[in-house]
Structure 1
Amino acid sequence: MVAVRGAGLGRPVVRLFSAAGVETGSFLWEKGGMAGWGWSAEQELVIVEATGKVSFYSLQGVRLPKELTFGPEVESEGVGAVHIWPDGIVLMSALTQQLWASVGLREPRASRLAPVPGVTAGAPSAAAAAARPGTPGGRDAAAAVATGTGPAPLAGVTSAQLAVIRPEESLSLCLEVLVAAGGAVWVVDERSATDQRLPPGAGGAAALAVAPGGGFVAAFCEDGRLRVFSSDFGRIISEFDTSSAVAPLDLAWCGVDAVALRWEGLLLLAGPYGDWLRLPASGPMALVSEVDGLRVVTEATHMLLRRVAEPLLQVYRPGSTAAAATLWDARDLYDSGSARADRLLREIQPQLQEAVEACIEAAGLELNVPRQRALMRAAAFGRAFVPPFFPPLLMREAARKLRVLNVVRDAAVGIPLTMPQLEALTLPVLVSRGAFKGCLGQKRVGGKKV
């Protein structure tokens, strides 16, 4: 986490924190204005200046030797919009609205993307691009080279919203930048800009967000409706009427189950079937999408919002008749010395393997350590009565990962991961991170020093 505070009339101070709110470092910002900041996959703080220069800092606030510039064109115009993700940066110059990108922050290198018709200075209008051969219907407007006559004011273009479909998530296996400007949404790569027209009456898109995995795109449209599209904009998955004429301050995905919209004093979660949830949202707030939920960070709290997973519902739902809930009850009865435990096991014998697997999965999703242990004990109890072809390492691997998760969730370490997040990150990546090594110190994972 990053906090930037002004120091009176002097330069601002950038302070870095772990996810548990423990300060890990700070430094004095002695450069110009900031256009944006974010975190790389290597846990480096990435700061983009208003001139397009990019600086990198460690978790301790130490300036790293590498840097990135987007050339004299961006430096002279300034940055109009920027989007940072763990492995890259996309920005739009302020005057000509030209897109630039750097994919791969280990050895960053800037590249120019295709101009957007009707948006980028020097590019043809959308109507002119549609009239060109090979661009039927205007839905595949080929990239045009700037004329070199110098930047000109752009009529009707006052702001643009950027979002990114990462190369590993796109169908083309290339970076795709979504640009919402001038009442349209464009998908831009290095070679072309494609107009993805919104439904009639929607107006333009005031905010965009790409779901984890790149499968869906959420757009808050000027008609006050939140629309979720497939990533190719071929289908509208869902619509939700917010009845708001004001664009949200922030738009983010909660896993792939819901979309969060934040206004001053309000956080709204909209689900796929018209379900919604209102939460208070006072003061500064940051929304961070995860593969299984949404992190909500304020000045005083760090929360994780996520949908209750099916294995947890099977065990904990009041009156549940699922085999996993019966196995949970059987273990409790066995601990109390009741003979009913045997009868319950016989009742669920055909589904016993499924119940054991559900209890193991529920333990991995559970954040409370005592309940984790209770679920693993229930799984171990049922494991003794399942057929011999049950996966022999399933419980061992789950227990090993839980030990790691419980250590890194400690406030002294400050890496509150869930099991789905760990599986997406992978254990080797977690262990290789300098933050993990430095913060753990003499902590023990699975009985061994890390």
Structure 2
Amino acid sequence: MTSVSVAGEWQLLYNRFYRKLTIYTMQWGRIDLSRHRIAAAPFGGPVAAIRDDSKIVQLYAESARRKLLIFNAAGRALASAIWDRPGGRLVGMAWTDDQVLVCVVQDGTVYRYNVHAELCAPQFSMGKECFEQGVVDCVFWGNGMVCITEGFLIFCVPDFKNPVPCRLSDPGIDEYPLCVAVIDPQYTMSGNVEVLLGVGDHVLLVEEDGVQQLGVGVGPFQKMAVSQNGKYLATFTHDGRLLVILTDFSKIIFEYTCESALPPEQISWCGLDSVLLYWDERELLMVGPHGHPVSYLYDEPIRLIPECDGVRLLSNSSMEFLQRVPDSTVSIFQVGSTLPAALLYDALEHFDRCSSKADENLRLIRSSLAEAVETCIDAAGHEFDVSRQRTLLRAASYGRAFCSQFPRDHFQEMCKILRVLNAVRNHEIGIPLSIQQYKLLTAPVLIGRLINANHHLVALRISEYLNLNPEVVIMHWACAKITASPAIQDSALLEILLDKLKLCKGISYAAIAAHADNSGRRKLAAMIVDHEPHSSKQVPLLLSIEEEDSALVKAIESGDTDLVYLVLFHIWQKKPALDFFGTINARPLARDLFISYSRYYKHEFLKDFFLSTGRLQDVAFLLLKESWKLEKNPMASKGSPLHGPRIRLIEQTQKLFSETKEHNFESKAAEEHAKLLRLQHDLEVSTKQAIFVDSSISDTIRTCIVLGNHREAMRVRTEFKVSEKRWYWLKAFALATVRDWDALEKFSKEKRPPGGYKPFVEACIDADEKAEAIKYIPKLTEPRERSEAYARIGMAKEAADAASQAKDSELFGRLKLTLAQNAAASSIFDTLRDRLSFQGVY
């Protein structure tokens, strides 16, 4: 009896059964489809309605102002908004795959709304030509659209996520096409949309780079519809024939002559096995490739909403689903079926009645029991009636008890899916998904649609039930709660949020805080972000809500120098210099990082920082570094203008060093350096030779004497208090350098040199002037020095005599080795050895 009652609802189309299920009684009150433009989203999505301004309608008690109304599939109101958009009448309206409602008005302006009737993205225009000519019609697919202007030009938006309109090839027509259809880009060879225009007795296929004529002589076509897989085209001809043709027009699959030659108001595919035609007379005709069609009569207007496995039928009072009966359901409930699944289902009925026939049925299908269990599970998945689902699953469970090898996970997985489907099919939620639609849509996408409609509790329970991460649900709920609770105090709202947010470990508190900030609740944002465990997320948000001090503390606590630098640069740009210095000076890590960076890139700013914090010696060292950079400048060695700034920098350095008792040496050195540079600069100006600057005091004196400028040399000596002993060395060597032996001799006779005549001897020997050296060697007071000097100029006898006067055995031995190659010198040393009895030395 059960199978008879189930199968009695089916309609046979050739060898295939179809069923029409009533899913909902619509709850939307007085909505009349004949008075409204309707757009229904696939996959059980929402329905948008707006009063059709091209028709004269009775307003009842409603306002004369048009409204955009959005309902779920059960007719439960979700949102509404006044429709007052400029740009002319509404030309087209459809939902994208992301459940964004796209509305196109006559001047080519495109508006996009979310399920709450809120503008969710900026409007955009289809372009100047659409604005000037006006848009006549639009055809949508997935996430794209084509529109046709009054000048018969075609424009396309390939993807609403990146709405960049482009113009397709000019079809070259002079009247509006009889019908229009599009082939989804995913099913075309080029990967771009193809537009089919019914023109005359053929079809024009319009692409971005060309136009083709197809099916010449087959038309004219009054209506067209492309199948879900893009392979077939259902067309209604001018003489009342329904043709199904391959989209390349290479073959006519089947043909059916309708009773009326009037074109249907709507044409749609029902899966891939049949085509639906709907006329204004409220007759719905389902035509298949073979046999007689099936006719359904309605006493109210309907809208056809194609789905991947059937068609939803929307009327003023109900939402129905017309689909081909799944094979598993047919095998169980077809009248007279003796297939294993039917016998297993029948066995359950006998078992419930305690009939022994249950065992007989099981024995009959023992070899096919696993197949029967699988079929019952599959049939349960295709059912919308919960009691029938339960009965089919009980039958599967009953058979599984006698089939130990059947995998348990199939049964458990189906139970999970059905619990999810039954939950979202509830009229409060209103998403009437079939199991095929659910598998194609996927659970994460379904959860996303639930939270977008603010069904957070159902979405959370489904996520937990399917072991999916509930973070996306809780985050969306938290953001929605903040937006919807302007009257709740920040502290109270924080407690409410934290109570739920703690359910999900690793959730991004920073993202929720950012939403609170964008909603104008900066204090709440600061309170939320304090719970963010990841500094890399916490610190940037604290900066965005102007909590710089907290951001700096958190960055320092994290130990991440990159984060500290991020905060430093942010504060640096926003705060006055003194405030910035005060902020970082109290925090050693931030201060040290700032100093490290500024030493290389921001010298002047670093000087300001050191001055503001009283670190004068650090400013002085920076000035010294700047003077060194000037010293390395190639222009500095050529004399001139750069010496002035260098000297001033060093003088500033001296003043800063003098302010601190610990840097007396540095202060004195800087003072001397500046004085020397000024003197050297004057020398270069007077001599017109860039050879003085950056040389030492000794080199400066020596250079002056070499140039014959003895007065300036004496001036340098006096300025820098050069000792008399050092002066003699410098002048002696300078005079020897220019080989002015007379001047050298005169200099030696001015008075007795304070350090003796050794400088004169060394200068002459260094200049390789033996004759001059002999003048001064005898004047050396130390025998050792005389002996060594004579040895250096090769005078062995004199060296030996001086060594013997010194009575220094070590010196005597060293000189003998020095002059060992000179045979005469060796003889002299041997004679002296005997004379002085130095045999023990050797």
Shift of 1:436: 5.9
Per-residue Cα deviation, 1:38-65 (whole angstroms, up to 9, x for no partner): 1011111110111111100111111122
- Amino acid of the structure 2 residue aligned with 1:371: R
Which of 77, 92, 105 is 1:23 aligned to? 77
2:411 maps to what in 1? 395
1:423 maps to what in 2? 439
Q: Say whether 1:178 aligns with 2:196.
A: yes
Please tell me whether the aligned partners of residues 403 and 446 of structure 1 are also in contact (alpha carbons under 8 angstroms).
no
* Larger fraction in helix: 2
Which of 305, 310, 315 is 1:293 aligned to? 310
SS at the partner of 2:155? strand
1:306 maps to what in 2? 323
Show structure 1 runs of 5+ residues with no match.
120-153
Please tell me whether the aligned partners of residues 225 and 241 of structure 1 are also in contact (alpha carbons under 8 angstroms).
yes
* Matching of residues 359-398 of structure 1 within 5 Å: 359-386=376-403, 388=405, 390-398=406-414
In 2, Cα distance between equivalents of 1:115 and 1:283: 40
Q: Say whether 1:83 aligns with 2:83.
A: no
Shift of 1:242: 0.7
SS at the partner of 1:352? helix
SS at the partner of 1:413? coil
Which of 239, 254, 264 is 1:248 aligned to? 264
In 2, Cα distance between equivalents of 1:285 and 1:435: 29
Please tell me whether the aligned partners of residues 400 and 446 of structure 1 are also in contact (alpha carbons under 8 angstroms).
no
Which of 349, 363, 367 is 1:346 aligned to? 363
* Larger fraction in strand: 1
2:831 maps to what in 1? none
TM-score, structure 1 length as denominator?
Answer: 0.85
In 1, Cα distance between equivalents of 2:94 and 2:133: 22
- Amino acid of the structure 1 residue aligned with 2:73: A
1:2 maps to what in 2? 48
Please tell me whether the aligned partners of residues 413 and 440 of structure 1 are also in contact (alpha carbons under 8 angstroms).
no
In 1, Cα distance between equivalents of 2:69 and 2:250: 43
Please tell me whether the aligned partners of residues 271 and 309 of structure 2 are also in contact (alpha carbons under 8 angstroms).
yes
Q: Say whether 1:219 aligns with 2:235.
A: yes
- Amino acid of the structure 2 residue aligned with 1:346: R
SS at the partner of 1:64? coil
Shift of 1:76: 0.7
Which of 236, 256, 273 is 1:257 aligned to? 273
1:102 maps to what in 2? 157
CA distance 1:23–1:9, change in 2 (3 Å): closer
In 2, Cα distance between equivalents of 1:326 and 1:109: 59
Decide which moves more: 235-244 or 183-192: 183-192
* Matching of residues 154-169 of structure 1 within 5 Å: 154=174, 157-169=175-187
In 2, Cα distance between equivalents of 1:15 and 1:370: 34
SS at the partner of 1:267? strand
Per-residue Cα deviation, 1:327-364 (whole angstroms, up to 9, x for no partner): 11122223333333232222112222221111111001
Per-residue Cα deviation, 1:398-418 (whole angstroms, up to 9, x for no partner): 111111110110000010111
Shift of 1:295: 1.1
Q: Say whether 1:53 aligns with 2:53.
A: no
- Amino acid of the structure 1 residue aligned with 2:150: A
In 1, Cα distance between equivalents of 2:291 and 2:241: 12
* Matching of residues 197-216 of structure 1 within 5 Å: 197-198=215-216, 200=217, 202-216=218-232
- Amino acid of the structure 2 residue aligned with 1:115: D
Please tell me whether the aligned partners of residues 54 and 67 of structure 1 are also in contact (alpha carbons under 8 angstroms).
yes
2:750 maps to what in 1? none
Shift of 1:21: 0.3
Please tell me whether the aligned partners of residues 14 and 29 of structure 1 are also in contact (alpha carbons under 8 angstroms).
yes
Per-residue Cα deviation, 1:80-112 (whole angstroms, up to 9, x for no partner): 2211223111111111x1111112222222111
Please tell me whether the aligned partners of residues 177 and 197 of structure 2 are also in contact (alpha carbons under 8 angstroms).
no
Please tell me whether the aligned partners of residues 170 and 176 of structure 1 are also in contact (alpha carbons under 8 angstroms).
yes
Please tell me whether the aligned partners of residues 331 and 341 of structure 1 are also in contact (alpha carbons under 8 angstroms).
yes
Which of 104, 111, 115 is 2:166 aligned to? 111
CA distance 1:357–1:172, change in 2 (3 Å): farther
1:124 maps to what in 2? none
Q: Superposition RMSD on alpha carbons, in Å?
A: 2.2
Please tell me whether the aligned partners of residues 264 and 282 of structure 1 are also in contact (alpha carbons under 8 angstroms).
no
- Amino acid of the structure 1 residue aligned with 2:70: L
Please tell me whether the aligned partners of residues 221 and 227 of structure 1 are also in contact (alpha carbons under 8 angstroms).
yes
In 2, Cα distance between equivalents of 1:85 and 1:281: 28
TM-score, structure 2 length as denominator?
Answer: 0.47
Shift of 1:379: 1.2
Shift of 1:188: 2.3
CA distance 1:213–1:338, change in 2 (3 Å): same
In 1, Cα distance between equivalents of 2:394 and 2:259: 49
Shift of 1:383: 2.2
Shift of 1:257: 2.1
CA distance 1:394–1:233, change in 2 (3 Å): farther
- Amino acid of the structure 1 residue aligned with 2:291: G
